[in-house]
Amino acid sequence: MMMEQRAAPVDRDLVLAQLDFCREKVDALLPRFRNSFPAPSSEGLAYPAQEENFDWTTSFYSGMLWLLWEHTGDKKYLDALEPHLASFCRRVEEPGNVDTHDLGFLYSLSCGPAVLLREDGRARDCFLKAADYLLARYIPKAGIIQAWGDLNDPANRGRMIIDCLLNLPLLYQASRLTGRGEYRAAAYSHARQAQKYLVRQDDTTFHTFYMDVDTGEPRFGRTAQGYSDSSCWARGQAWGVYGFALSFHHTRDRSFLDTSCRLLDYFLARLPEDGVCYWDLCFTQGDEPRDSSSAAILCCGILELLRHLPLTHPRRGEYEAALHRIMASLARDYTTRDTPRADGLLLHGVYSKPDGIGVDECMIWGDYYYMEALFRLLYGTCAYWI
């Protein structure tokens, strides 16, 4: 039985102070990243600039600008978004860089808010083009969306990954915008297959899983960024908590809510004293690096889950306490408040430990999800995924 952790609630004043800190940090980046993108992870705590819009992470900066525009109403964030949105439009209008399922991350945080919040016509066309490219990656026989690479690449054929759950809102929203059911049907099928094969009996998750695209049969799980094939990569588990809660929101299939809770229970049972996970949940103590970005994603996942759990749910109090404990810990000990040279918002993130990339650095998605969690605490929700 998990102990309920007592934590001082993260109150409105703390959230507002943290959002002020985020705003100051992002404001300092505005001139440098007008026509370029912060790299996925910092180097020596500074984000190198990427000129090309090719990575899976280029929209997290736009996402932060959207959150700041919503929070402050300051037009300078819309001005800063302009060249970024134009780049995202070019990315789908001049194909060459769309062979990835990460179109969801990319368009939910760039063109998506322009559609949802500002009814921007060009952004709508680009958002729907991105949804079409994502839908083209759906393999009906296996019922999944292939994650990476060309659909005929033998190394990636039939491979789904847990992260893809955050790409599904693009499809669910495309169905809502167009009235065409095939986007939603593909997303729903993928979420069910992910639930069946990426989630293990013991409530941990595989990072990736191969399906046989000719027979539709399951093959085997493999890690890409975790400690081992049988371990539980922290960020994957966090994507799972958040992603299944989002699929519940879009489909009302209660089994997704149950899965999200199961993954969360496992996650919370593997937290070290300060509530910020190690990069793989096989570690609960010692000198391995933490991954603050997983903690931030998890908090967004808990916040989405809490929107849907009944007030009488037996674990609700425990989840709320865990959320406050983790957010308080991030705010107190993981922000760059006392590290002025850092570009990011959160210290101590990990991109890929096995590859030695971005270890103990700032992660651009960690920054985004930290801001989203603060935003959700203040405003109750975040429109970009729902």
> Which residue ranges make up the site for ligand GLY (CB under 6 A)?
56, 163, 225, 235
CB of 49 to ligand GLY, least distance (A): 20
CB of 56 vs ligand GLY, minimal distance in Å:
6
Closest to 131 measured CA to CA, from 58, 60, 193, 184: 184
As a whole number of angstroms, the distance between CA 246 and CA 215 comes to: 29
Q: How far is the CB of 225 from ligand GLY (least distance, A)?
A: 6
> Cα-Cα-Cα-Cα dihedral of 318, 323, 328, 330, to 10°?
130
Catalytic-role residue among 55, 99, 102, 367: 102
Nearer to ligand GLY, 124 or 235 (CB): 235
Candidates 85, 67, 60, 65; CA nearest to 77 is: 65
Catalytic residue flag (residue 229): no
User: Which residue has its beta carbon closest to ligand GLY?
Assistant: 163
CB of 254 to ligand GLY, least distance (A): 27
- Catalytic member of 55, 99, 163, 367: 163
Of 190 and 235, nearer to ligand GLY (C-beta) is: 235
Q: Which residue, 383, 202, 193, is CA-closest to 304?
A: 383
CB of 279 to ligand GLY, least distance (A): 11
Q: Which is nearer to ligand GLY, 112 or 366 (CB)?
A: 366
Residue written as tokens 């967004």?
A: 300
Spatial distance between the Cα atoms of 65 and 10, rounded to a whole number of angstroms: 23
Do 335 and 276 meet the contact criterion of CB atoms below 8 Å apart?
no
The string of DSSP codes covering 216-263 is: --EEEEE-SSSSSTTS-BHHHHHHHHHHHHHHHHHH--HHHHHHHHHH
CA distance 88 to 50: 14
Enumerate helices (H) and strands (E) in the chain, giving the number of each.
13, 9
CB 294, min distance to ligand GLY, A: 9
Whole-angstrom distance, CA of residue 24 vs CA of residue 345: 10
In the residue annotation, 163 being an active-site residue is answered as yes
Q: Which is nearer to ligand GLY, 163 or 203 (CB)?
A: 163
Instruction: Rank residues 71 and 290 by Cβ distance to ligand GLY and give the closer one.
Output: 290
Closer by beta carbon to ligand GLY, 166 or else 322: 166
Which amino acids are annotated catalytic? Answer: 102, 163
